[in-house]
Structure 1
Amino acid sequence: MLEKISVLAKASDMARHASARHRVIAENVANADTPGYRARDLRPFSELVNAGGVNEAFTPRATRPEHLLGQAPGRPAAFEPVVRADRAAPNGNSVSLETESIMAVETQGDHSLALGVYSKAVDILRIGLGRSR
């Protein structure tokens, strides 16, 4: 039932994206000394949602003329890492630990945002049903 509520689905998708991005960042850090290893990253979640990278592209719909545009349900396809165009060291490795650290902090923020949105949406549903936490 809850998976049909679009804000919950998008928050869940965003949390999954952050988890997949953390995995890619960890792989980059683990290969920081591997000759020829090219740093990878995921496309930003907003690109995946708005450019059709999600199974169903983000297509807003209005349920009444004065209504802010809603959205169609959709689930992200597998998050595929892409090679970043960073400068490589003489051994061909393009991993920068500073860049990876910054990306990890950004991704943690995205994950926290997704969980916060999910939690508040569930709280609103509970209030609507006459239940409290």
Structure 2
Amino acid sequence: MSDDKINLMQLMSKRMDYLAERHKVISQNVANADTPNYRARDLRQQNFTQALKDANNRQPLAMTQPNHLAPVSPQTKFAVDKDKKPYETSLDKNSVVLEEQMMKMSQNQSDYTLNAELYNRYTSMAKMALSRGGQ
């Protein structure tokens, strides 16, 4: 597939944005662990298949003048869900379980590190291909 069909870098960048936003939500859960009636929240899981379809169906934006800035796609917000069935609820009806939040944060950090490493490797591979292409 050509680069204009699927922009892998853009998909990886959106994934990193999602993981950064999820980190904020999990951090808010931990910060509100003692707040009465607080319900733990999390972001909805991303659907990679749908993101791939959206990337393939998106019409590229065109520059009408050569001195115009390159078009930028709008930022999307991620949907936040409250836990529907918390494992535990304290007497003050707080549904934050710190052990569960720490596990989510650890998994989120691992996913972010993996995504960042893939992003760096893909960039290095592209740089290498471009530098050898001129020889």
TM-score (normalizing by structure 1): 0.74
2:97 aligns with 96
Q: Which has the larger radius of gyration?
A: 2
% identical aligned pairs: 30
Q: Map 1:1-133; keep pairs closer than 5 Å.
A: 6-45=7-46, 47=47, 49-50=48-49, 52=50, 57-59=51-53, 72=56, 77-84=76-83, 85-86=85-86, 87-130=88-131
CA pair 30-81 structure 1, distance change in 2 beyond 3 A: same
Q: How many residues align?
A: 112
What secondary structure does 2:10 align onto?
helix
CA pair 73-116 structure 1, distance change in 2 beyond 3 A: farther
Tell me, in whole angstroms, the C-alpha distance in 2 between the residues paired with 1:73 and 1:91. 48
Kindly provide the amino acid, as one letter, of the partner of residue 9 in structure 2: L
Unaligned runs of 5+ in 2: 59-72
- Name segments (4+ residues, structure 1) moved above 3 Å: 73-76
Deviation at 1:73, TM superposition (A): 7.2
Are 1:6 and 1:73, in contact at CA under 8 Å, matched by a contact in 2?
A: no
Deviation at 1:77, TM superposition (A): 2.3
Deviation at 1:130, TM superposition (A): 1.6
Kindly provide the amino acid, as one letter, of the partner of residue 88 in structure 1: T
TM-score (normalizing by structure 2): 0.73
CA pair 58-125 structure 1, distance change in 2 beyond 3 A: same
Tell me, in whole angstroms, the C-alpha distance in 1 between the residues paired with 2:119 and 2:128. 14
Could you give the per-residue CA deviations for residues 55-100 of structure 1, whole angstroms, max 9, x where no partner exists? xx4328xxxxxxxxxx627777201210012132221100000001
Aligned-pair Cα RMSD in Å: 2.4
